[in-house]
Amino acid sequence: MPFYYPNWINDFWRIMGLIHFGDKDRFCLVSEKRFDETAIRSFCEKAGLAFYDTACEVRRLKDNASDAFLEVVKPTDVDALLKRLPECSNLVTTGQKATDVIAEMFGCEVPPIGAYTELMVADRPIRFWRMPSTSRAYPLPLPKKAEFYTRLFSLPAADGKETTSSSV
């Protein structure tokens, strides 16, 4: 995939359009039923958003996209990754499997959906956020999901500096 959340039926980019521009179709090429990769990349660079997977190697146990049937064979070294991103103050997961991987990796509790727990990662405070899944399979209307994401982008960084996020 050339960028994260490219699936037309996933609401991640609609949520970003809604909360940052008041327009859920801001990143949509509606007539083509696809997302505008150029607009997304530009937005992410300006907003300081970085994306990465919580696993470098996975195994699908069934022939579907459900995280319930996903085995993490080799997790990502998130600590090393964050050392390379010194401006990052938020670590965000958008699914249960990724959330569980991060919680296990850092030995912390899983935060409630839409909330965070404070971690010390790469010698600095990091907020570990658990956001609702942006998949349409997750039974929450788009405006309600957007409310959770709005809080993430409205708080100052854990270290008091301007917020820069990384979604994992």
Is residue 57 a part of any domain in this protein? yes
Assigned domain for 34 exists: no
Q: Tally the domains of the chain.
A: 1
Q: How many C-beta atoms surround the C-beta of residue 101 within 10 A?
A: 20
Query: For each of the chain's 168 residues, which pLDDT tens digit applies?
Result: 788 999 999 999 999 999 999 999 999 999 999 999 999 999 999 999 999 999 988 888 888 766 777 788 998 999 999 999 999 999 999 988 899 999 999 999 999 999 999 999 888 999 999 999 999 888 899 999 999 999 999 876 655 554 444 455
Specify if 156 maps to a domain.
yes
Look at residue 16 and tell me if it is in a domain.
no
Cα distance from N-terminal residue to C-terminal residue, the chain: 15
Residues 6 or more apart from 29 whose CB is under 8 A from it? 35, 36
Q: Is residue 22 part of a domain?
A: no
Query: Which letter does DSSP use for residue 30 in this model?
Result: G
Give DSSP secondary structure letters for 77-106. -HHHHHHT-TT--EEEE-SHHHHHHHHHHH
Burial grade of 120 (CB within 10 A; 0-12, 13-18, 19 or more): exposed
Q: Does residue 25 belong to any structural domain of this protein?
A: no
Is 33 domain-assigned?
no
Burial class (CB in 10 A: 0-12, 13-18, 19+), 168: buried
pTM: 0.86
Phi, psi of 128 (to 5 degrees): -100, 105
Other CB atoms within 10 Å distance of the CB of residue 84? 9
Instruction: With respect to residue 112, please indicate whether it lies within any of the assigned structural domains.
Output: yes
Give the residue from 89, 165, 163 showing the smallest Cα distance to 121: 89
E strands of 28-158, at which residues? 28-29, 34-35, 49-51, 55-60, 70-75, 90-93, 115-121, 124-130
99 is in which domain, residue-wise?
A: 48-167
